[in-house]
Amino acid sequence: MLYAEINRTVPPAQRLLRPYGLNRLSHHPISLLIKCVYNKIGILNGLFMRKKTLAFLALLSVILIAGGCKKTIKFGIVADIQYHPGKPLGTRYYNASLDKLKEALARFNQERVSFVVNLGDIIDHHVQTFDSVMPSFKALKAPVYHLVGNHDFEVQEGNEDKVLPALGLKDSYYALAKGSWWFIFLDGFELRYPFPADEVLKRESETLFWRLRAQGKEHAQRWNGGIGLKQIAWLEHQLEEAEKAQKNVLVLCHFPVLPEAAHNLWNDAEVVALLELHRCVKAYFCGHNHAGDYAFRNGIHYLTFQGMVETPDQNAFAVVTLEKNAIRVQGFGREPSRTLEILPR
């Protein structure tokens, strides 16, 4: 068979790699980059001459510098909306949250986020209030993922079973994969006070709550909650699966676990210990503490987002971009912007 005939049977991208000895190195960074560009813009056809090849490589270097083939995930974050039509209480302006939420959602559409996360406490009192807040999310051009918070369950007695359907949730905790990231959404109010109706969760809640009270722990508060044994086992399984799939992990929950504070999850130390066992975990995002907070320990970023309900006219929300080596938080209103470096663990 003539060389020209052989050459026609080789994909253009492979022919371009051959002179540089990269055609057999399918996982070489340059090889992967060239193939990426070829697949995206199809400009390699006919690049057989050295002059054109060099011109293409020059273009390739520009694309590399600009991050043309870099995969990122951008999403929106809101925390502690706590809307209800009543009067303000202290620094909490419940009635102002609806307009703040609409402003945030409009910005998310403008930023073209892939999805939005609500970190919990979307309402404050009365299960009917969900009907006033949830329709606002229909303005989004991207899906929204909800977490449950303590205020979401501060509804009239006997209406607790209406909370998850109101949020469009089948399960109170769940996980999903997007690109190179694994997102784990936890239910931090599974154990709570007043104790849940489920006998197993009730027993676990009582045991944990009263033990913390006896130890004088400052986070043994009725406005906090905990994660049950079954969910802990599920979390461990998710982390193991993420490691097998070589995914980075972002854990999300309504309640903080670090730094140690009065607003923390009841079994915060247990969750932190589990996360630190898995190198795939890069960050833990939460709300609940309206002032916000931050900690960094053993390669994991623990970021608490500020509550939207605070102040009469200053908003608080963020757009998060997940990159290969960093998590970039673009804050709006009271939420500060920051860059969280992803370090090897």
78 and 59 co-located in one domain: no
273 and 169 co-located in one domain: yes
Of 336, 71, 332, 316, the C-alpha closest to 179 is 71
Q: Which residues of 18-43 are buried (b: 16+ CB within 10 A; e: fewer)?
A: eeeebbeeeeeeebebbbbbbeeeee
User: Rounded distance, CA 159 to CA 288, Å?
Assistant: 22
109 and 12 co-located in one domain: no
CATH number at residue 248: 3.60.21.10
- Domain boundary among the residues 23, 40, 66 is at 66
Which residues of the chain fall short of a pLDDT of 50?
A: 1-49, 53-69
Exposed, middle or buried, 12 (CB in 10 Å: 0-12/13-18/19+)?
middle
Per-residue pLDDT, 105: 98
Domain that residue 60 falls in: 3-66
Amino acid at 299: G
Please check whether residue 288 is in contact with residue 80, taking contact to mean a CB–CB distance below 8 angstroms. Answer: yes
11 and 127 co-located in one domain: no
Domains in the chain: how many in total?
2
Q: How far apart are the first and last CA of the chain?
A: 52
The string of pLDDT tens digits covering residues 248-294 is 999 999 999 999 999 999 999 999 999 999 999 999 999 999 999 99
Per-residue pLDDT, 286: 99
Cis peptide bond upstream of 194, omega within 30: yes
15 and 134 co-located in one domain: no
97 and 117 co-located in one domain: yes
- Domain boundary among the residues 32, 48, 66 is at 66
Amino acid at 144: V
Q: Considering the entire predicted model, what is its pTM?
A: 0.82
128 and 58 co-located in one domain: no
The string of pLDDT tens digits covering residues 59-100 is 444 444 444 445 899 999 999 999 999 999 999 999 999 999
84 and 41 co-located in one domain: no
Query: Taking the CB of residue 206, how many other CB atoms lie within 10 A of it?
Result: 13
86 and 47 co-located in one domain: no
328 and 219 co-located in one domain: yes
Main-chain dihedrals φ then ψ at residue 129, nearest 5 degrees: -65, -25
- Domain boundary among the residues 66, 98, 115 is at 66
